[in-house]
Each structure stands twice: as structure tokens, then as C-alpha cells.
């Protein structure tokens, strides 16, 4: 239960800005949230492996081994798909044909 | 959110804060030393640092790591809210040492800002004190578990002039500053006041658990207590003054003077001594980023003069070493400008 009405206004205040471009400020927020989520998952996988190893459902040594050339080959396509999805936005190219560039509805632009 | 995810999410933030406190801070310090070696003012440091991406990233992280600590997906507030009923069950008993004042009007300086970015402050939500207590464990990553050590070290200084008999701890929070007095001086009578109901409730609960019988926690404004004149031989506060605007500090010091016995000592631990322009720049930035709007006002107050004008004597304002092993001159990692502010009410006026 809340003890007392909060006296600060209910409408959110604008967040502080640190970078020259405010988009950077917001993007950093997204990146850090992802980084934290990533770490939480890492932690969970480690716990999961530990638990599986403890109950002998998994041989950790086998899991940690360098993948064989065959195993690597099997995952090549997945890897390049992943990298492409990650980096393709940097090219700034359209996926479906449409008007290019930046748009404005201001008069005389 | 499960316990493991919460712990991992918070550990991640603490690791990031540690990097920020050490590597990033050092980088920033070195950059300032190279680009503005003679900087005498904060504005001069600002001129060279504010446009660097390094400083911008440093500033961003300072604000947002703290935001994520309290409000993020793995934040302290959502964690405690999810467990509200169960957690409150563990702390709300018939605390003998507790006195609440539901009619207490909280001052505007206090309710108008969510101090140190805890949404709702340390008072608005019943679980606020629990979240604050949990968060305080990682406020200063370099200290780690030694944060308790800090209050013990302060207690050593506060009692330098002898074992106290009647102690008042102003702005006691959840009692971390009060417990060392209660434990070390079982024969002393200890009173502790704070505006926050959840904080004094948690403090009283902890006291009950520790079986201390010599201490009472009361929800009360430290600037206007109901104690008789000359009721205490020691008045203390830790990390309270910087959360108050100058007028409130003034009122709190007046109140300390009033309730002190002649010859009594007043000892505060706070943030004050800023040795150079770089650290001043970092500290002022911290104040803004961490929602601590009154910090700069305190830094600009001539405390020795204020205390002298009130009639205090034996005024001592000195840097405080918050943990053993901290090199106070090295400026090698980010740290608060810890300062002990002490003064005596003269025995014969
Ligand atoms: C940073 S906390 C410090 C708590 C404790 N002394 C410690 O060291 O852990 C500051 C405390 O000051 C309290 N406070 C602020 N203004 C106050 C006032 N006018 N009277 C009493 N307490 C006040 C807040 O509620 C908060 O609990």
C-alpha cells in the first residue's frame, strides 16, 4: 500500500540528456537493458549446466570441447544469418521498395 | 522475477558500477589532468570534459545504472513490490521500540524529489525501506560489505570524548547509523528520529531482532523534535545534512544545539570537503544525476562560520576515511567527499 500521495507531478519528467544527440541517450538505454538481460541469461545457462552436470544428465567436458569441423559446418548458415541480421541495418538499404531518404511535411522543404 | 534473475541483474549493475568507479573514473581524471592541468574552477574542468564522449558516457552511466538499480526490469522496487505481502509480514510486528506519527506533515523539500533515484523516495511506499536497505549494500561498490565498517568507524569518532549516556541520532534511516551506538553502549539511552515511517519501522524491527532494549525509533522531524532542552550529551547524524536545503540544515543545527546539554558534542558524517576543481566537478554532476539537489548548496555553505555563529565551539571539519585501506589522497577511484563535522555546545554560556 502506498503511504501518501506523491507530490511530484504524475506526468513523467523528461529524462536528462548527456550525449549531443538525444537518440544516443535512448539507444544506450536499450543497449544496457539488453546487456543486463544477456547477463541474466548467461547466469541461468551456467546454473542450468551446473544442475545438469550434478545430476549426471550432462558431461560438461563434452559441452566445453571445441566443436568438430563437422559441427562447425552445421552451424555456419545459422551464424551468417545471425551476423547478417545484426549488421545489415548499417547498410541503410530498404528491404521493400518505397520512397527513400528523410521525409518532412513542413512547407517549402 | 525469480531470485536468481534478480541477483544476476543486480550483480551485473554492480560490476558495471565498479568499472565506472575505477577504470572510467581514472580515465576521466587523467584526461582532465592532461587537458586542464591548472584548472582552478569547476567551470574550467567542465569546459574541457563536457564535450568528450568519455565524460558523456560516464555521466550517462552514473544516472542510468542507478535508475536500473531501482526501477529497471531487475530493479529493487519491482522486486520488492512483487513480494510486498510476504516481506512486510517478516518486518511488521509489535515493535516495542517504535513510535509512528501518522499526522506528521512531510516537508516539501523531502517529497518534491525522489532522492538518490529511488522512485517514491525512502518514505512513500511501505516497502521503500526494505528496498533502500537492500540497495545501500551496493551504493559504494569499492566498500562492498565494509559499508557497515563505515558506521563503526564513524561511531569511534563520535565517542572520542568518552562513552555517551544519552544519544540522539537525527535522520536515522533504517537504523544503520543507530545500531553501533545501541550495541556498543548498552547502558546509554539512544533515541533515533526520521521522517520516514517505513525506515523507522524497519529500524525498530532490526533492533528487536538484535534484542537491544536501549533504543527507540520515532517518526519525527529532526528540525522540530519534542525533546526537552539539554536532553542529550551526544547528537549525531550520518548522510542526512546533504539531503536538506540550507534553511532546513539551519533548523536542524539549531535543534541540535537546543537539545544538547552544555558541554555536549554534536558529530555529523556527511559530504563536504572537496579538495580540488576536478572533484568538485564530479560531485556537482553526481548531485544532479543522482537526484540530490541540495548537495551543491551544502558544498557552498561555510559550515564553520554557521556553527560558530550559533555558539558552537571546538568546531572540527575533517575528511573522513570511510574504510580501512582507502587512500584519501590518491583520487584513484570515485568516492564521496566524506567529512566529519563536529562541534561542542559550550559548558558555560
Ligand atoms: C541517506 S539517509 C541516512 C540514514 C542513516 N543515517 C544511515 O546512515 O544509514 C538520510 C535520511 O534522512 C532522513 N531525513 C531527511 N530529512 C529529515 C528530517 N527533516 N528529519 C528527520 N529525518 C530526515 C531521510 O528520511 C533518510 O532516511
Mean of all residue pLDDT scores within chain B: 94
Cβ B74 vs Cβ B6: under 8 Å: yes
Chain A / chain B CB contacts < 8 angstroms:
76
**Tell me: the pLDDT tens digits for B105-114?**
999 999 999 9
Residue B219 bridge partners (DSSP): B194
C-alpha B86 – ligand 1 centre gap (Å)? 26
Smallest CA–CA distance, residue A55 to chain B, in Å, is: 20
- Single pTM value for the model: 0.91
The three-state secondary structure class of B192 is strand
Q: Does A40 touch chain B (CB under 8 A)?
A: yes
Could you tell me the distance, in angstroms and rounded to a whole number, from the CA of residue B171 to the centre of ligand 1?
Answer: 3
pLDDT at B143: 61
Arithmetic mean of pLDDT, B234-260: 98
Predicted confidence (pLDDT) per residue in B160-203, tens digit: 999 999 999 999 999 999 999 999 999 999 999 999 999 999 99
Q: Which of B64, B108, B197 sits opposite A3 (nearest CB)?
A: B197
Q: Tell me, what's the pLDDT at A103?
A: 85
Region B235-258: what's the mean pLDDT? 98
Say how far apart CA B340 and CA B154 lie, in whole Å. 8
pLDDT at A5: 46
Confidence of residue B254 (pLDDT cuts 50, 70, 90): very high
Using alpha carbons only, give the angle B7, B62, A90 rounded to the nearest 5 degrees: 90
pLDDT beneath 70, residues of chain A? 1-10, 108-109
Mean pLDDT of B215-230: 97
Three-state DSSP at B43 gives helix
Taking contacts as CB-CB distances below 8 angstroms, the residues of chain B near A32 are 16, 64-65, 68
How high is the ipTM of this complex? 0.85
- The C-alpha cell 531501482 sits at B70
Q: Does B144 have pLDDT greater than 80?
A: no
Q: How far apart are alpha carbons B263 and A35 in whole angstroms?
A: 56
| Range with the poorest average pLDDT among B34-43, B136-145, B276-285 | B136-145
Judged against a pLDDT cut of 90, whether residue B149 lies above it is answered with no
Buried-state track A6-45, b at ≥16 Cβ within 10 A, e below 16 = beeeeeeeeeeebbeeeebbeebbeebeeebbebbeebee
| Ligand 1: centre distance to CA B173 (Å) | 5
Distance between CA B214 and CA B279 in Å, rounded? Answer: 41
Smallest Cβ distance to B60: which of A4, A25, A39? A25
* pLDDT above 90 for B47: yes
Indicate the residue of A3, A36, A43 with minimum beta-carbon distance to B123.
A3
pLDDT over 80 at B301, yes or no? yes
Residue B327 has pLDDT above 50, yes or no: yes
End-to-end Cα spacing for chain B: 60
Query: Which pLDDT score, from 0 to 100, does residue A99 have?
Result: 83
Amino acid at each position: 500500500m502506498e503511504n501518501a500521495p506523491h507530490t511530484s507531478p504524475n506526468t513523467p519528467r523528461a529524462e536528462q540528456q548527456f550525449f549531443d544527440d538525444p537518440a544516443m541517450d535512448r539507444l544506450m538505454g536499450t543497449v544496457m537493458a539488453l546487456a543486463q538481460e544477456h547477463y541474466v541469461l548467461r547466469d541461468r545457462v551456467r546454473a542450468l549446466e551446473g544442475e545438469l552436470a550434478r545430476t549426471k544428465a550432462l558431461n560438461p567436458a563434452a559441452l566445453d570441447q571445441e566443436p568438430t569441423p563437422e559441427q562447425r559446418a552445421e552451424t555456419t548458415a545459422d551464424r551468417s544469418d545471425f551476423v547478417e541480421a545484426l549488421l545489415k541495418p548499417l547498410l541503410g538499404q530498404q528491404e521493400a521498395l518505397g520512397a527513400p531518404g528523410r521525409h518532412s511535411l513542413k512547407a517549402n522543404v | 522475477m525469480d531470485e536468481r534473475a534478480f541477483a544476476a541483474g543486480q550483480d551485473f549493475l554492480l560490476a558495471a558500477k565498479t568499472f565506472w568507479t575505477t577504470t572510467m573514473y581514472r580515465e576521466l581524471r587523467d584526461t582532465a589532468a592532461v587537458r586542464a592541468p591548472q584548472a582552478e574552477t569547476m567551470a574550467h574542468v567542465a569546459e574541457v570534459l563536457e564535450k568528450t564522449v568519455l565524460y558523456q558516457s560516464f555521466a550517462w552511466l552514473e544516472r542510468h545504472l542507478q535508475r536500473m538499480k531501482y526501477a529497471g526490469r531487475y530493479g529493487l522496487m519491482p522486486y520488492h513490490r512483487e513480494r510486498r505481502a510476504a516481506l512486510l509480514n517478516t518486518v511488521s510486528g509489535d515493535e516495542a521500540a517504535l513510535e509512528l506519527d501518522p499526522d506528521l506533515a512531510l516537508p516539501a523539500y523531502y517529497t518534491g524529489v525522489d532522492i538518490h533515484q529511488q522512485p517514491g523516495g525512502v518514505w512513500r511506499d511501505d516497502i521503500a525501506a526494505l528496498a533502500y536497505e537492500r540497495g545501500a549494500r551496493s551504493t559504494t561498490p569499492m566498500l562492498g560489505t565494509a559499508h557497515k565498517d563505515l558506521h563503526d568507524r564513524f561511531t569511534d569518532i563520535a565517542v572520542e570524548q568518552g562513552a555517551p549516556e544519552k544519544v540522539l541520532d537525527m535522520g536515522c534511516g533504517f537504523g544503520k547509523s543507530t545500531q553501533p551506538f545501541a550495541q556498543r553502549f548498552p547502558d546509554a539511552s539512544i533515541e533515533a528520529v526520521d521522517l520516514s515511517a517505513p525506515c523507522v519501522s524497519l529500524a525498530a524491527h532490526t533492533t528487536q531482532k538484535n534484542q537491544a532494549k536501549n533504543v527507540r525509533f520515532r517518526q519525527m522531524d529532526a528540525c522540530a523534535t519534542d525533546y526537552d532542552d539539554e536532553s542529550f550529551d551526544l547528537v549525531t547524524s550520518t548522510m542526512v545534512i546533504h539531503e536538506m536545503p540550507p534553511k532546513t540544515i539551519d533548523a536542524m543545527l539549531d535543534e541540535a544545539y537546543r537539545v544538547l546539554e552544555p558541554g555536549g558534542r554534536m558529530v555529523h558524517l556527511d559530504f563536504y570537503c572537496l579538495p580540488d576543481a576536478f572533484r568538485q566537478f564530479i560531485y556537482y554532476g553526481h548531485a544532479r544525476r543522482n537526484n540530490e539537489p541540495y548537495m551543491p548548496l551544502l558544498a557552498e555553505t561555510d559550515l564553520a562560520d554557521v556553527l560558530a555563529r550559533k555558539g558552537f565551539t571546538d568546531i572540527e571539519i575533517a575528511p573522513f576515511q570511510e574504510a580501512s585501506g582507502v587512500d584519501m589522497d590518491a583520487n584513484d577511484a570515485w568516492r564521496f567527499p566524506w567529512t566529519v563535522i563536529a562541534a561542542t555546545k559550550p559548558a558555560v554560556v
